[in-house]
Structure 1
Amino acid sequence: MTAAATDSRALTVHLLERGLIDADDEIDISPLTGGVSNDVVAVRGQRCDFVVKRALDRLRVEQTWLADPARLDTEGRALRVAGSVIADRVPRVLDLDDGYLVIERAPHRWRMWKEMLLDGVVHQHIAEQLGRALGIWQRETAGNAVVAADFADRTAFVQLRLDPFHRAVRDRHPDLAVPIDRTVSAMDQAAVCLVHGDYTPKNVLVDPDGADLWVIDWEVAHLGDPTFDPAWILGHLLLKTLHRPVVAPGYAAAARVFLDALTRTHDAAIDLDPEQLIRQTGCLLLARVDGKSPVDYLDDAARDRARTWARRLLMNPPVTVTDIWELSS
């Protein structure tokens, strides 16, 4: 939570009522930064150290962007499902009640994978772990009737992904409407497995050596298209390539390691449409320069090049999505 948004007294009362702190605990409530869709605070005391999230109905971006705060319940339920499949790749849910999500806090030395990538540090084993974890989550939730029923609602996904990304860039680039609409139509028809919906480097917390990691922020999780999450990773590795071209071989290698681990782990249980994956990557690459939440680390020249790459992926796609690194070098 931001300092202005935090109602420390109300939060303290809530934590007491839920038995998460004792009346005599001396706690420190401090805001955590990095997101636009939630208020997030760290709560620390002699006997507690956890994170509390509360969803915003209006996101912190320049353009008007509204979303249903009920997505916080989706995040809590998705974390529990993900943790039941792979216990050590997500934080534990400590409590979910009355609009508050309380989760385990990562070790203090951990950092966002995004920060490492922006610094030009590319650990291939992180990419491999992310591909393997995603493959397991997709494989184990495909055909699961309980998951299908619990995550059928795509309201948050539409509000936080389709509208501000795919549909926003389609309106800005009408000549790309056909491939973008085709991508969206394929997503509308896909109900294959649990989709994280924001499987990006900023939502991966890693230890300094990259030996351990968590995937966080599952608020737009839904039953859907298995190409969406890998496209998010690939698109962000392309963006980092534009930011640090000298490290392009490392980012390209990470993309291939990630995809290889993902498809091997699927063990033929998931049909990952290569054409949809290419189009999806193009849409998401374009969305991060011309959508409602553009990345803040590219200069104008890099943004123009991102548009060129996205157009290539959408209008004249390569044989495989990772070929874009060779074609653009």
Structure 2
Amino acid sequence: MIEIGKINTLTVLRETAVGFYLGDTEGGEVLLPNSYIKEKPSVKEKIEVFIYKDSEDRLIATLRKPIVKLNDFACLRVNAASDIGAFLDWGLEKELFVPFSEQKFNMEEGRYYVVRVFLDDVSKRIVGSSKLEKFLSNEEMKLEGGQEVEIMITEESPLGYSCIINGMHKGLIYHNDVYQDLFVGDEQIAYVKLIREDKLVDISLQKGGFKNVLSATEIILEYLENNDGFLNLHDKSNPEEISEKFAMSKATFKKSIGVLYRHRKVLIKPDGVYLVVNKEGTEEQSEEQTQEGE
């Protein structure tokens, strides 16, 4: 059966003046237009094509692969906007249509928006929607505190950044938990910080508790090893400097430096942090640091 919105493996049946007709094992047929072909396929050859509908409501095959598949989310650019809807670039010859009724906010040409691609029940056409909430639910979640998840940033608000969790749920990253630049459409690994009684999910970009500190120590050590063993930050540095360099909070930075010092891997001086390079140096420098602390 030929499936719209998916990659189909079909057989080339015949060549015509307008293109090649492809078929499945159940007798279905679809046109692959000449304008979509760079190299002509052979009759009886099996090829992979994406299926969607053209402006005349006919099934059409293309050899191109879309940026996003059916029932997935993606951040796409608006190529054109009108009173009836917007047309987004999703990698195919025909742009993805987002009806005006499916826009959370009026889309503007040249801007990027996170949309859900779905099959319209009435027209049976593939369309997009920026009204993401209707495709997400927090009613039944298999999430727990500290769990690693995949997120996509969807929107910034006065509270923080809204995000999609594992393609199914909605979450929020509060501004005071953000120590790096974030943009709509960003996809990355994050962690469940808190699941509230009202089923709202707080998300953190860093591991919680001591796991976060251990991860941060690795980042700091790598920096020291790649920068001649010196870091011009210390426990008196302002939070903005620390956030800009390492995308972590000052509290995490101080705990991480403390862990490294207790393991005799760094020396802390008024001008910054120094990497300890050998055992003898560690003992001498640690004594010096102890005296300075006194």
**Per residue, is there more helix in 1 or in 2?**
1
- Structure possessing the higher relative contact order (Cα contacts under 8 Å, 6 or more residues apart): 1
**Per residue, is there more strand in 1 or in 2?**
2
Whether TM exceeds 0.5 here: the answer is: no
TM-score range, shorter chain: under 0.3
Task: Return the TM-score normalized by structure 2.
Answer: 0.25
Task: Return the TM-score normalized by structure 1.
Answer: 0.23
